[in-house]
A = this chain, B = another copy of it.
Amino acid sequence: MNIAVFGTGTVGPAVAAALVALGHDVVIGTRDPEATLARTEAGPMGGVPFAQWHAEHPGIRLTTFADAAAGADLIVNATNGSGSLPALTAAGEENLAGKVIMDIANPLDFSQGFPPSLDPVNTDSLGEQLQRAFPAARVVKTLNTMNASVMVDPGSVAGGDHSVFVSGNDADAKAKVSGLLADLGHRDIIDLGDITTARGTEMLLPVWLRLWGALGNADFNFKIAR
């Protein structure tokens, strides 16, 4: 599949590399490719600067959001939550129509410090915002409830014995995304229902952040025991 991954932080490159390893053609979309490659600071989670990562992954092209989306069958939104609507707007509605948007971002609001709160929250979600903004696209919320390392290597935590959720209005889009999740090694894929159920999975973030603090690392995930 031709896949565009939006976002050059910790999550986007990790997912891009994992999808390439599965045999997909992957490009990374960013607002300004030259500016992204010129960044020298480490990533927010202590990762290497993007240019270094990119040099180590020469098969993954970096381009604009619009160019990346134009050639893609499926778009992974791994931008910061506050940057998601601007990124998809920059991609262009015509480049999103009919396509699956796998939304793995969280609407974290750091305006009041750490730990962040969420915005939107409770009666709305980022997933719904994106679906409303691009009604011809098919948004599927998923993977936003775990660390990037667990997204792409679920076996690294408890032998893969944990859960991932999908939320979306389009059954075919959820099936495509669920196929990718299974290929990544996710075994317990729970379809919660339509895109409004993204409220629930985005609202897992606050306890995720507190668990990160209490456990001292991000090598954990939610399992729905039943």
Is there an interface contact between A158 and B226, defined as CB atoms closer than 8 Å? yes
Q: How far is the CA of A91 from the CA of B3 in the complex (A)?
A: 60
Q: How far is the CA of A208 from the CA of B222 in the complex (A)?
A: 12
A222 touches which of B197, B215, B219, B225 (Cβ 8 Å): B225
* Known contacts A122-B121, A123-B112; A207/B192 CB under 8 A: yes
Chain B residue, CB-CB nearest to A162 = B225
Number of identical protomers: 2
Secondary structure call for the A interface? mixed
Residues of chain B with a CB closer than 8 A to A197's CB: 207, 210
Q: How far is the CA of A221 from the CA of B165 in the complex (A)?
A: 15
Count of interface residues, chain A, beta-carbon cutoff 8 Å: 38
The distance from the CB of A33 to the nearest CB of chain B, in whole angstroms, is 35
Residues on A lying within 8 angstroms of B by beta carbon are 112, 117-118, 121-123, 157-158, 161-162, 165, 190-193, 197, 199-201, 203-204, 206-211, 213-215, 219-226
Known: A221-B225, A222-B224. 9 other contacts (CB 8 A): A122-B122, A122-B206, A162-B223, A190-B211, A192-B210, A192-B214, A197-B210, A223-B224, A223-B225
